[in-house]
């Protein structure tokens, strides 16, 4: 006697093969099977991910060390490679790359810092808050 909920092993296997062949035939698009399409999609995703990583790294390299370079080019007597490197490390901890580019311009044009600090613009006020935090970190670590 057959149990309604447990079909015999032979009954389970027989319809699976034609159904499996049908699924394979339906899933084949052009020259690719479902497995082949999944492989191609995986390769495309890896290429996209690699491109994102490279673009991100490249943009970071383009702006990296902007404060250190500006510090070394400044006319301040106390500048040194060690001090400017320390200041750059403080900037890396507290400022985004965009903020660092803005802060680096203060070495060439100190009036720009004053203008930005007194600006009523909300974005400039938020930048100035981040800049004060950076200055405090630099003061603490670099002396």
Residue range 104-124, pLDDT digits in tens: 999 999 999 999 999 999 999
Q: How far is Cα 122 from Cα 9, in angstroms, rounded to an integer? A: 72
* CA distance linking residue 33 with residue 19, whole number of Å: 16
Q: Where are the domains of the chain?
A: 9-62, 65-142
Q: Residue 32 forms beta bridges with which residues?
A: 29
Is residue 87 classed exposed, middle or buried when 0-12, 13-18 and 19+ CB atoms within 10 A define those classes?
buried
In the structure encoding, which two tokens stand for residue 44, read together?
A: 């495309």
pLDDT, tens only, 23-72: 555 555 555 566 777 777 777 767 775 566 566 555 444 446 999 999 99
Write down the pTM of the prediction: 0.55
């Amino acid at each position: 006697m057959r149990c309604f909920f447990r079909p015999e092993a032979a009954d389970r296997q027989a319809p699976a093969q034609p159904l499996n062949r049908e699924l394979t035939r339906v899933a084949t698009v052009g020259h690719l099977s479902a497995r082949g399409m999944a492989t191609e999609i995986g390769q495309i995703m890896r290429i996209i991910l690699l491109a994102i990583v490279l673009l991100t790294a490249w943009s970071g390299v383009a702006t990296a060390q902007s404060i250190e370079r500006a510090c070394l080019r400044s006319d301040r007597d106390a500048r040194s490679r060690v001090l400017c490197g320390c200041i750059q490390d403080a900037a890396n901890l507290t400022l985004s790359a965009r903020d660092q580019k803005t802060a680096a311009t203060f070495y060439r044009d100190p009036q720009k810092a004053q203008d930005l600090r007194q600006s009523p613009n909300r974005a400039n006020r938020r930048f100035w808050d981040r800049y004060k935090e950076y200055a405090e970190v630099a003061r603490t670590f670099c002396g």
